[in-house]
Amino acid sequence: MRDASRPPAFDTSGGRSDLLGAEFFGDGTNFALFSENATAVELCLFDETGKKELHRLPLPEMEGGIWFGFLPGIMPGQVYGYRVHGPYEPHEGHRFNPNKLLLDPYARELRGEIIWDDALHGYTIGQDDLSFDERDSASFMPKGVVVDSEFDWDSDRALRTGWNETVIYEGHVKGLTQRHPRVPENLRGTFQGLATDPIIEHLNEIGVTTLELLPIHAFANDRYLVEKGLSNYWGYSTLSFFAPHAPYLKSGQIQEVKEAIRRFHKAGIEVILDVVYNHTCEGSELGQTLSFRGIDNASYYLLSDDKRHSFDTTGTGNTLNMGHPMVLRMVMDSLRYWVQVMHVDGFRFDLASTLGREAEGFERDGSFFNAIRQDPVLSGIKLIAEPWDVGDGGYQVGGYRWPFREWNDKFRDDTRAFWRRDPGLLGPIAERLYGSPVQFNHSERPATSSVNFVAAHDGFTLWDTVSYNDKHNEANGEDNRDGHGHNLSDNMGVEGPSDDETVDTARLRRVRAMLATVFLSQGVPMILAGDELGHSQGGNNNAYCQDNEISWLNWDAGRADVRDAVQALAAFRAEVGLSHSRFAAGPEDAQPGQPISRWLHPRGEDMAEGDWTDGEQRCLGLMLESEDMPRVLIIVNAGDDLDFTLPEGKWQRRIDTAEAVVACDDPVEGTLSLAWQSVVALVQARQEQA
């Protein structure tokens, strides 16, 4: 065993510049860090607690801006950080300060947490950012840990669930487990708790194929939130793109993530990660120096014309400089690491428009997107874009190329408005049922390009959409000024919870109708965790800082009537093969193998041009058929009770959200009585089709 009291010596013949981060090789560890503007880089070794700095060792080699060296005898569990020397010239974009301990951007595991202190800033708090702070920040910083990536995956491999079979469930590691009565208390809030039988069984029962987790990359609890007694619950404030968030690990070791993913895969459930590569937790030039800013501010971040200032298209103070080849490499290395080493099945990219920003603005063929499209590892996994940011030209729904899919907020807004009984929405709701072809039927994109949802982590939950007219974000400490006001919600007569049975029935009816719209539309359905339980956040539409019972799912209060509807809808969608990779077309335009569609008026006739512009019409039917599915008729009725004349033949009413009817064998023909605010799905036997 190496004597830790004596400084280790680099083996100058064994260092490698091609492997960034701390790479363990059995007899020692290779350390490598990119900083093209640094003048020197010191590797700092700490004791196992991360509290005592034992040695500072200048990295002996540098090639192409990569500082590196191989240290024999350095084993997994070694705690480390960096101090980077260079010019402190803010007007030139340089903010080097070796008094600040810096986290390795490639660290796979972290020890300790951020302890907010003024010493974490490169400049002196109370003065402007041109000043220079000489205090040591090491005692307030988390550190990296050398890890061994070996793991027995037991023949685990990617599931590759087809997009036309995919049902996405957007959840949170802690939110899913913290109040679950069958998850052991000591495992709640962790990956170990997430992968327990009760969670996996629930997802299987309601038909989920793909679990999309809110950010699990190590993130910061922003100082202003901590000082208000709040926390960064959602996690959109990344500190490290390789290390998982330490509080989600009961033991602190990354094997827990691997074990959880292996369990989900054995249950047939994919795991995809919501990732935040557009910015970091360091904020603007007035923010803290934790990693990238101190390593090489001018390389890692986009800067304004006056390089003293950050260039912000994310609303967080900084923007990662994806135009720099080594920053792009870091992101690509991170993505490949999570796929190849951690076995995740895909990614949802937060504010993806920022990742496509080039000198002239958003570029759908930008360096990041092209890098992914040609990558043999990444081009075949699930890739989902949040297709907007806060910069000019940032709204890009429908603007991405295959193989990306996109969150479709147009689906969310039109669906909410249609079921709220807003006038003139037959055309828009038809677009959404059809897979939003105006947005996505171009550039050889498939009909599974739209990720359809009516609620996500950001905004009202589905139950709150039918329970509140206004946001109620008072608990966030910003006098209810935060969060947007465009909720397209309707409290059905009472603001908030109600004991009125009439109100409750109306809310349930509308919730089931909106869920049916998600599951019966072309595209990829996504539901927010808890929406199948009737979860409410008390009208808070921006619960990013609520790590408490506002956000945690209350499983004991879950509504079986909503859960059963989700289960039935997912089962029906899978049974009839409702989703197609090709967009449907009318009988006259359909090509061989393309689904055939007809739009029907309640009279039983094809929709005429004047019917689409009837602002008071709130009901229509979509009939679909193809070679590999039975003829299906989907009827949406956002209006009052009415009779719908069915196409000729006998039909089976398989879904009726007014009654939650499932697998009804009684044949229906002629006229069908539709209840107010309901969705009905019918199937016609093949002999009837003939």
The backbone torsions φ and ψ at residue 219, rounded to the nearest 5 degrees and listed phi first, read -135, 165
- Degrees (nearest 5) of the Cα angle 590, 592, 597? 35
Q: Is 36 a catalytic residue?
A: no
Cis peptide before 181 (omega within 30 of 0): no
Q: Is 350 a catalytic residue?
A: yes
Strands in 79-85's sheet, in edge-to-edge order, are 53-58, 40-46, 79-85, 143-145, 109-111
The backbone torsions φ and ψ at residue 636, rounded to the nearest 5 degrees and listed phi first, read -115, 130
In which residue are the tokens 């402190």 written?
Answer: 88
Torsion angle, alpha carbons of 99, 104, 105, 111, to 10 = -110
Q: Which of the residues 104, 296, 350, 409 is marked catalytic?
A: 350
Cα 493 from chain centroid (whole Å): 33
Neighbours of 470 (CB within 10 A): 13
Residues 6 or more apart from 610 whose CB is under 8 A from it?
Answer: none
The backbone torsions φ and ψ at residue 624, rounded to the nearest 5 degrees and listed phi first, read -125, 145
Give the residue from 54, 178, 97, 133 showing the smallest Cα distance to 549.
Answer: 178
Strand ranges (E), 410-531: 450-452, 524-528
Which of left, alpha, beta for 128 (phi over 0: left; psi -120 to 50: alpha)?
Answer: beta
Q: Which of the residues 129, 386, 464, 547 is marked catalytic?
A: 386
End-to-end CA distance of the chain: 79
Provide, for the chain, the percentages of residues in helix, strand and coil under a 3-state DSSP scheme, each rounded to the nearest 5: 25, 20, 55
Are the C-beta atoms of 91 and 309 separated by less than 8 Å? no
Are the C-beta atoms of 440 and 449 separated by less than 8 Å? yes
| Packing angle, helices 409-419 and 426-433, rounded to 10 | 130
The backbone torsions φ and ψ at residue 103, rounded to the nearest 5 degrees and listed phi first, read -80, 135
Q: Which residues are catalytic?
A: 350, 386
